Structure 1
């Protein structure tokens, strides 16, 4: 499943996350968002067998950072996941891949305070 995902969706979504991460790292103050974007790019390449969990101890700073992220880049990345998910759900083989895209929407909207762990 990961190979089909990589070709149909993962590579393209990872490019979006990497570009966002590069822009965030160029602007010095947004480096935490850039690092989170690189982590999600890795997850977008190979999502099956891994899951996203809340990081214990991340509180108000993560919430404030996530609100800023939603406005700056998160909404566009989430739209990419939704569009990709809808297009993949058109075919029977693509339905699990579309569902995986929909599961990535929350982490694309609020990446700070999350960890990607093996399932």
Structure 2
């Protein structure tokens, strides 16, 4: 399964991963300019790594996330989340034009929830989510 994940990740990286990760990285830099928005920048950098190499990994809710994460997600949604969602949708449409790009377009659409509400979530290996091996 790891070989398949690697092949999918390399194709993803070439087709859209670099550009989407750059978008998150840019959002992280903008958020880190202001001291108060550094947590948003850190979340954006974390998602950039996930978007760069997504297959074989997933996101799960952090058990210690509470009301501050919820409030932060609303702020994130207003200032950065919807821009990133638009980028995911545009990339998915471009990928869906080709037959080989359809699965990657679908994967791109699956990344929209994490781009809308990244706080209170962490990226883990799919093995960890289901109890490891």
Q: Give the 5 Å matches for 1:7-22.
A: 7-22=14-29
Structure 2 residue 85 is matched with structure 1 residue 85: no
Measured against aligned partners, the alpha-carbon deviations of 1:40-76 in whole angstroms (never above 9, x if no partner) come to 0001110011001111121110000000000000000
Q: Name the residue aligned to 1:75.
A: 82
Distance 1:102 1:70 in 2: 16
Structure 2 residue 100 is matched with structure 1 residue 101: no
Q: Give the 5 Å matches for 1:46-85.
A: 46-85=53-92
TM-score w.r.t. the length of structure 2 is 0.87
Q: Give the 5 Å matches for 1:36-51.
A: 36-51=43-58
Distance 1:81 1:17 in 2: 11
Unaligned segments of structure 1, at least 5 residues: none
Distance 1:115 1:96 in 2: 24
Structure of greater Rg? 2
TM-score w.r.t. the length of structure 1 is 0.97
Distance 2:59 2:98 in 1: 26
Q: Name the residue aligned to 1:27.
A: 34
How many pairs does the alignment contain?
A: 119
SS in 1 for 2:124: strand
